[in-house]
Amino acid sequence: MNPEKFLNSLVNYERTPGYKYDLEAYKEFLENLGSPQKNLKNVILIAGTKGKGSTATILSSCLIATGYNVGLFTSPHLKRINERIKVNGQEISNKEMAEFIEAIKPHINFKTKIGARTFFEVLTTIAFFYFALKKVDFAILEVGLGGRLDATNVFHFHIPVITRIGYDHMNLLGNSLTQITYEKAGIIPDNRHKMPDNQKFPLNSPFIKGERRGLVITIHQRPSVELVLKKVARERNHQIIFADELHKIKIKKMALSRTELDIKGKLGNFEASLSLPGRHQIENLQIVLAVLNLLRERGFNFELSKIKKGIAVAKLPGRFEIVSKKPLIIYDVAHNEDSFRALNRNLKLIRNPDSPPLLKEGLEKLYLIFGCSKDKDINYAIKNIFPKAKEILLVRANNPRAMEPIEIYKRAKRYQKNLVIAGSVKRALEYLKLRLDKDSSIIVFGSFYLYSELIPALSTI
């Protein structure tokens, strides 16, 4: 069996427009399979609009470095579906995935798309089985979409973590930050009636020792977002831990490949080196440190030197990733306003220091390759990033929901005159090959789906 072919035959809301979801039906599906999720301990569920993957990856890296057995479930993937399910940094094999699919297949309704199990549900189920089989000490799960109705949200006791919340998937989650936040905050479990008074709290549970409140970890956010988070936490008997209050992080040096940091806080005072570039990664690291501090208070042992190692070796493709040095080509998964803002700030990292200050911040030899999905708000990118480029190549991402390049052209021509419809990433690189010199740089961004086209096309240059 080809696992990827089988999974792609299922309903996939990552590629198919629309979203009809029933979490209770999925829970019943899991029950019919023996409820594999109930065999997992120390589940950490991460929701948010921006930074989920980075936070999950850094946390996993730190826990692995400290000697624990760690399962990591993330989405979407860049090249292979196997990327989404890892134990101690190693992807699940096709053979293992196929074995789990064979066990799951008899419970899938193939006769109708309505009520059928989806691509993401089956992948999530495979992760549950795999992590249980591997007896992981921690299961770190990145929420796929929203939170309240997401397939990962099937646990009674877990540590809820919420990264920065902003505008994305508005057609599914709501048009206001308040609506979006309610969906994300849905991962906070209702602890008011879960445990009888005489029941002891598990040592490694997310509960405060001696109390009946749970804990949710986040960072300070926009006022409208914080208001909702505080309301939901209060209603569900949770206390919010603001990670940016526990650890202060000062950037000592920032470069394309690494950021040197000075950290002071609950875990101690130390220096660290983070390979994920960008100022926005600081808050993701603060969240990771807050989770580690909570786990330490729950009885887990962490050596600071091992945490430093975990931070140093954490790697996540697609986050302002250098995919070619000569010429300099960087890929970034930025696809919503907050991630576009982060990308815009990161452009300073490739600034030519010898360029005159009035020449577009030294980015006069910057080229962009851009493609996106129809449902994405790209206004920030068009108004703030596009004008900084010498020329922009517009492509169609390999996704049924992709926006046609001509539509991007119509919206962007007011802000950038040098727009070319290239059709594909490969054609864009072939076009740019004749225009690049040693000081040129290319940023490819706008969609996760561009990565799988970009990597094989690099041979063009």
Q: Domains of the chain, with CATH numbers?
A: 3-313 (3.40.1190.10), 321-460 (3.90.190.20)
pLDDT average, residue stretch 370-398:
94
Torsion from C-alpha of 113, 114, 117, 120, nearest 10 degrees: 90
**Helix, strand, coil in percent for the chain, rounding step 5:** 40, 20, 40
Burial (CB count within 10 angstroms: exposed 0-12, middle 13-18, buried 19+), residue 305: exposed
Answer whether residue 358 shows pLDDT above 70: no
pLDDT value of position 456: 94
Answer whether residue 194 shows pLDDT above 70: no
> Tokens for 415?
């802000």
Strand 90-91 with 85-87, pairing = antiparallel
pLDDT value of position 363: 58
Residue 271: phi, psi to the nearest 5?
Answer: -100, 145
pLDDT value of position 3: 92
Q: One-letter amino acid identity for 70?
A: V
Q: How far apart are CA 243 and CA 247, in angstroms?
A: 7
pLDDT value of position 423: 82
| Helical segments of 372-448, H only | 379-380, 405-412, 425-433
pLDDT average, residue stretch 187-196:
72
Partners of residue 324 on adjacent β-strands: 329
pLDDT digits (tens, 9 = 90+) for 424-454: 999 999 999 989 988 899 999 999 999 999 9
pLDDT band at 204 (very low <50, low <70, confident <90, very high): very low
Q: Where is mean pLDDT largest: 5-9, 53-57, 176-180?
A: 53-57
Q: Of 165-179, 230-244, 386-400, 432-446, where does mean pLDDT reach its minimum? A: 165-179
Contact 143, 187 (CB under 8 A): yes
pLDDT average, residue stretch 75-82:
93
Among residues 139, 186, 150, 149, the alpha carbon closest in space to that of 165 is found at 186
- Ramachandran category for residue 275: left, alpha or beta (phi over 0 → left; psi -120 to 50 → alpha): alpha
pLDDT average, residue stretch 138-155:
94
The residue that leads in pLDDT, 17 or 345, is: 345
> Tokens for 363?
């980015």
Q: How far apart are CA 367 and CA 442, in angstroms?
A: 5
Torsion from C-alpha of 193, 194, 198, 202, nearest 10 degrees: -150
pLDDT digits (tens, 9 = 90+) for 26-46: 999 999 999 999 999 999 999
pLDDT value of position 376: 87
pLDDT value of position 208: 47
> Tokens for 427?
């054609």
Among residues 3, 130, 134, the alpha carbon closest in space to that of 73 is found at 130
